[in-house]
Structure 1
Amino acid sequence: MNILWTLAIGIIIGMANVIPGVSGSTIAVVFGIYDKFIDAITLNVKKLWKNKKFVLPIVTGMALGVLILSKLITLLYEKFPIQTNFFFTGLIIGSVPMLVNLSVNKKDGTKVEKSKTKSIVACVIIGIAIMILFSMLESSFGDSQGMIKSLPEFSVKLALKIFIAGVFGAVAMIVPGISGSLLMLILGVYPIVIKSISALFLPESFFSALILLLPNGVGVLAGLLLGARLIKNLLEKAPNHTYAVILGLLCGSALNICPITKNIFQGVFFQSILDFKSVSLVLSSAAALIVGGAMAYFSSKFSPSE
């Protein structure tokens, strides 16, 4: 059952990673596997094999989420964008109690010293501020999400650009609350990567798509290894402050994803009211929020064991 549960979480992470503005690592935090996820990112073959019951299903699930089920989440965003965003908002809200506990308590369960309280609160505020900045960036670059009609011609310059975007996107990807896809969108390669993934399933464009995806894949691998080592060191040396920043990132991410607060931050003050023009929309949005919150809150009790 643990393997199937880990596979399911991997699928959701993969789905989230292809959506600009949604962080796959946020999902890892929500389901209580973030520490294990970061620790699993390594080139140490012996360590990977030792953790195979976690690594194999999580990687397989992520691949399935990106290659196949991303179409489902895209469809949900097209047909039910408000409800889908409320569901993700609920996931984030439901994980807040767990992160508060990790921020103010030590590993042995005792409270942190009062002298650290102010710095922990400051870390939460920093995390929220970073996400507000990303919200502004998302609104500035949102129009560039349109899909391209055909794959561009391969060139060394384009390959280098895709590689660099993969590195930065992967580093962002493992920081909860920050979307790696959004960063690749800002760097101008997101439409190329998404088009290439879908082109892999067409025999006439398979080779061209593969050539374009290879530098991105190498860049993502390099970024994951670099970013994971940094996060792992921070969690070992300053766990409470690191979790406080993550808490701030998630709270800011909820403000960015929630349809009501997102419209307010983007200056559309009355749009959040006009969006809810029917009782069915209000009820379905509330249901999505509650389901997401409950799923996140109770998921830590069923997360895979060490």
Structure 2
Amino acid sequence: MREWLPIYFKGFAMGVADMVPGVSGGTIALITGIYERLVTAITTLDPRLVTYAVRPHDPAARTSFVDGVDRVDLGFLLALGAGIGTAVLAVSRVVGTVAETYPAATAAFFFGLIGASAVVLADQIRLPRRRSIPIMTAGVLIAGGVTLVTAGSVSHALPVVFVAGAIAVSAMVLPGVSGAFFLLVLGQYYFMLDALNGFVDALVGVLSGGSITEVLATGTVVVTFLTGAVVGLLTVAHLVKRALERHRAETLAFLVALMIGGLLLPAQQVTANVSVTVTTESVTTNIVEPLVPILFAVILGAAAVLALDRFTDDLEYAESETPDGTREPTAERG
């Protein structure tokens, strides 16, 4: 128990970070010294374990399942996952309440977080301008286009939720990149907050003698998202990791461009929720007063990311060889 408790609390810290657009759970893993272990554990997960687990009557399947579990750092993943899950449940209600009460300030805070994250990641890119410009142009156009589409009538159909889960969880292997940011751009962030909070409330209601109908309705959304997350860990995360290993600068340039294009969404939310009244008597006051908390929120968000970057500026990536001869990204203090 004592061995897994620190892992649980590190997972809790990652979960808190994963709930905030612009803050990376992967960065928290890097800070707490579990990034290498996390990436190794994720990339050694074998999807065939599921098929073995549902065939306990088959001796060969049982043997393969036991052997597969031995190769996977299962205790670590369970303890870390429990911490992340606890944090998500705890923070989702807080974020939802704050966003509903102070929508403009919340969007401005996210703007600062995402903008500063883009600056921090951009500092890691070493790429000639002739190669970076087309990549970043494509990234900005894609993120901006998706933002404009989702700002209208975004779909919350289960296939969309599934894909969103797969994309968001892949950010776990990317220090500096936020899974919640991708949910925000895809128009699923606040929807999933409401679904998760509704699911928890419905479960509590059932324990108090309420109907199970709401549990099934919201639970279907939550389970679909989690299923997408599992599939993402087993597929998309591997692709992203391989892209970073083979084309690190180009991949980072594209991610930075996505962040820049994604800034359009919180900017739209700020302008939609800020009312500036102009009168001839006090033009300056009426314009400045509503903008003060907005500017403060932007600065606070940016400062949080820059402070985190300052704390981790002595961490750098290295590569270590795994038993199968492949190269794994690791983190070490410089």
TM-score (norm 2): 0.61
Residue number in structure 2 paired with 1:123: 135
Partner residue of 2:247 out of 214, 235, 238: 238
Question: RCO (CA 8 Å, sep 6+): is it higher in 1 or 2?
Answer: 1
One-letter code aligned to 2:99: Y
Task: Give the letter for the 2:163 counterpart.
Answer: F
| Counterpart residue type for residue 165 of structure 2 | A
Q: Does 1:41 align with 2:42?
A: yes
Secondary structure of residue in 1 paired with 2:152: helix
Residue 189 (structure 2) pairs with residue 209 (structure 1): no
Larger Rg over CA atoms: 2
1:10 and 2:15 aligned: yes
Specify which of 113, 122, 125 is matched with residue 103 of structure 1. 125
Q: Is the CA contact (8 Å cut-off) linking 1:86 and 1:259 kept in structure 2?
A: no
Find out whether 1:60 has 2:110 as its counterpart: no
Q: Secondary structure at the match of 1:73?
A: helix
CA distance in structure 2 between the aligned counterparts of 1:32 and 1:254, rounded to whole angstroms: 25
User: Residues 172 and 141 from structure 1, CA distance in 2 versus in 1: closer, same or farther, beyond 3 angstroms?
Assistant: farther
2:124 is paired with a residue whose SS is: helix
Deviation at 1:290, TM superposition (A): 4.7
Q: Deviations over 1:96-132 (max 9, x none)?
A: 344223321xxxxxxx5x4xx3222322222211221
Counterpart check, 1:90 vs 2:137: no
Q: Percent identity?
A: 19
Larger strand fraction of residues: 2
Asked if 1 retains the 8 angstrom alpha-carbon contact of 2:93 and 2:197, the reply is: no
Alpha carbons of structure 1 residues 198 and 221: separation in structure 2 relative to 1, 3 Å: farther
Report what 2:164 is aligned to.
169
Write the deviation string for residues 230-282 of structure 1: whole angstroms up to 9, x where unpaired. 2112112211111111111122223432468x64xx8x9989x9885347525
* SS at 1:179 equivalent: helix
Q: Which runs of 5+ in 1 are unaligned?
A: 17-21, 105-111, 146-160
Write the distance in 2 (CA, Å) between the matches of 1:10 and 1:61.
Answer: 7
* Cα shift at 1:229: 1.7
| 1:223 lines up with 2:229 in the alignment | no
Higher share in helix: 1
Matched, 1:27 2:27: no
C-alpha contact (below 8 Å) 1:90/1:288 kept by paired residues = yes
Distance between the aligned counterparts of 1:167 and 1:223, measured in 2?
9
Q: Which residue of 2 aligns with 1:252?
A: 261
- Corresponding residue pairs, total: 263
2:304 aligned to which of 288, 292, 298: 292
Matched letter for residue 146 of structure 2: F
| C-alpha distance 296-123 of structure 1, shift in aligned 2 (>3 A) | farther
What runs of 5+ residues in structure 2 fail to find an aligned partner? Answer: 47-68, 172-176, 278-283, 316-329
The one-letter amino acid paired with 1:27 is: S
TM-score scaled by length of structure 1: 0.65
- Which residue identity lines up with residue 256 of structure 1 in the other structure? L
AA of the residue aligned to 2:73: W
Give yes or no for contact 1:171–1:223 (8 Å, CA) kept in 2.
yes
Deviation at 1:222, TM superposition (A): 1.6
Aligned Cα root-mean-square deviation (Å) = 4.3
* CA distance in 2 between partners of 1:84 and 1:245 (Å): 26
